Amino acid sequence: MPPLQLTNLLHRTLPDLSPNGRAILSALACMNGRPPSLAELAAWLGFQDRYQLARALRREGLPPMETLGGWTRTLYWIIQSQSTGATLRELARRERLDPAVAYRLVRRVTGRRWSELCDDGLAAALLNFRDNCRSRAGIALTRHRLTDHARSPHPARNGLVLLPERSDARPAARLRGTLDKRVSISGAPFDIALTSSNVALVTRHHAAAVDVLELSPPRVAQTINVGPVPSRIVPNAQGDMAYVTGQFAEAIDIVDVQRGEQIAEVPVAGHPLGAVLSRDGRFLYVATNCDRLVALSLARRAVVGDIAIPLGSLQMCRHPSGHRLYASGWRTGLVTEIQIPSLRVLRTFDVGGIVQEVAVSPDGETLYVANEAGWLDVIHLAPGTRGARVDLGSAAMGLAISADQADIVVGLLFAGEVAIMDRQTLEIRATLQTGGRPRLMTAHPKGAVLVANEAGWVDVIR
């Protein structure tokens, strides 16, 4: 999720950019003007290589990446200096950068000394940035994606077959806490969702793609190109369509799973984060970094309503009744209960910390809240009171209730672990060392739990 202030400043300064141009600015703002490498940035935004990225910059009328990154970094420093009073020397040292290098960078990209920029202020620097961009080849006015936008380096295999569901009356097996399978997936896997018992979809945060993962046996069967920084993915009940929140695309990407392609996108204001489908499949509810909850009509492919929520995040869930949603407030420490389809805030639960994934028990009586501050909250929904808080000793992010409803599975982001907790006693009965950075997860109806790991794989836990 990019720093909203810097992102908004860049977007308002260059309002005529295409979605591709806005995505490039969002990525640079997210990293404060310091991309790790052009190749990695290109892959993150969905370009095939750094040469395609360079051509996109030229078509947008933007300067080369070295200059554009330098401008972004300079604007970030000006914002920090104005808000904290820090000197450029102090800001550079915080980043372990030689202050002399920082002063030379500012002079090279802006043509002015740091002291002059500080005297003139942020508004003047933004005007200078805008004029620098407009003095180039001209800004492309098209609102469509560039024709040479990336194709995945992993060509899609046509003819994906969704195997028919088999009738199986056996109850789901209880989790043992063992790693059964691991499938390598590049591009920082973030979210995973099932379309059927034999197919899952995985968003690749830094590859502008969704992978179709067949589960019997586990393998990547197909790659579908989507907008930059795909985050949450929500399949429909039939499993033939899915909806992806494309953060830097500023749109919801609609994917035809059987055809293996993106077929449409619905623009939204700001960066879409979490998403939940209504029980009847007619509406998609999306949280954005503009602190709004947006209702999309899937038939009309348009926004039909929105309300303010406290600091929208990537984590949302739907109550089994279908009449309520729960949206975590991330750094506010709040979880908001929202009535749908009326979009009315009913209650807020203040749990503190950094709220991450939320999940409601199948009976609709209990809300579980993972917290990056290192704990799990249990909230009884009827009275709206907290029943327990379990100290996990590490930052919790992903959360799932096992298919047999006996366990709560929690991903410990920075510890590289997955904890399995008895849902009745709230005691941790198994901890699995996965390594990497376990992100979001989903429970398979046969008993396994699938965990997306940002380090480059998906784990199947049994």
Report the range of poorest mean pLDDT among 29-43, 143-157, 351-365: 143-157
Confidence grade of residue 44 (pLDDT, cut at 50, 70, 90): confident
Closest to 253 (Cα-Cα) out of 242, 238, 240: 242
As a whole number of angstroms, the distance between CA 442 and CA 242 comes to: 15
% of the chain with per-residue pLDDT over 70: 91
Q: Which two tokens stand for residue 6?
A: 């810097």
Which residues on neighbouring strands pair with residue 85, listed in sequence order? none
Quote the pLDDT of residue 155.
Answer: 39
Cβ 271 vs Cβ 250: under 8 Å? yes
As a whole number of angstroms, the distance between CA 117 and CA 423 comes to: 57
Neighbours of 202 (CB within 10 A): 26
pLDDT at 4 over 90: no
Confidence grade of residue 135 (pLDDT, cut at 50, 70, 90): low
65-124 pLDDT, tens digit each: 999 999 999 999 999 999 899 999 999 999 999 999 999 999 999 999 999 999 989 999
- Cis peptide preceding 341, ω within 30 of 0: yes
Helix axes 19-30, 65-84, angle to 10 degrees: 50
DSSP 221: E
As a whole number of angstroms, the distance between CA 362 and CA 407 comes to: 12
Q: Which two tokens stand for residue 245?
A: 């929140």
302-334 pLDDT, tens digit each: 999 999 998 888 999 999 999 999 999 988 999
Quote the pLDDT of residue 309.
Answer: 94
Closest to 216 (Cα-Cα) out of 161, 273, 142: 161
- Domain span(s) for CATH 2.130.10.10 in the chain: 179-461
254-269 pLDDT, tens digit each: 999 999 999 999 999 9
| R_g (Cα) of the chain, nearest Å | 23
Could you tell me how far CA 177 lies from the centroid of its own chain?
27
Handedness of CA 265, 268, 272, 277 (dihedral sign): negative
Quote the pLDDT of residue 159.
Answer: 43
As a whole number of angstroms, the distance between CA 26 and CA 228 comes to: 10
Report the range of poorest mean pLDDT among 55-64, 319-328, 357-366, 434-443: 55-64
Going through 312-384 in order, the beta strands assigned E by DSSP cover: 316-318, 324-328, 334-339, 344-350, 355-360, 366-371, 375-380
- The alpha helices in 31-98, defined as continuous H runs, are 38-45, 50-60, 65-84, 88-94
CA atoms within 13 A on the CB side of 33: 21
As a whole number of angstroms, the distance between CA 284 and CA 303 comes to: 9
Mean pLDDT of 130-154: 49
pLDDT at 245 over 90: yes
Closest to 245 (Cα-Cα) out of 233, 257, 255: 233
Quote the pLDDT of residue 136.
Answer: 56
Instruction: Provide the 3-class DSSP secondary structure of residue 322.
Output: coil
Confidence grade of residue 149 (pLDDT, cut at 50, 70, 90): very low
Question: Amino acid identity, residue 139?
Answer: I
386-445 pLDDT, tens digit each: 899 999 999 999 999 999 999 999 999 999 999 999 999 999 999 999 999 999 999 999
Cα distance from N-terminal residue to C-terminal residue, the chain? 32
Helix (H) or strand (E) holding 12, with range, is: helix 4-13
Instruction: State which fold the 179-461 domain adopts.
Output: Methylamine Dehydrogenase; Chain H (2.130.10)
Closest to 161 (Cα-Cα) out of 237, 216, 225, 243: 216
Report the range of poorest mean pLDDT among 131-145, 176-190, 440-454: 131-145
Residues 6+ apart with CB under 8 A from 126: 9, 13, 75
Report the range of poorest mean pLDDT among 37-46, 141-150, 199-208: 141-150
21-35, 39-53, 408-422: which is most confident: 408-422
Confidence grade of residue 163 (pLDDT, cut at 50, 70, 90): very low
Backbone angles phi, psi at 51, to 5 degrees: -75, -40
Kindly report the average pLDDT of the chain as a whole number: 89
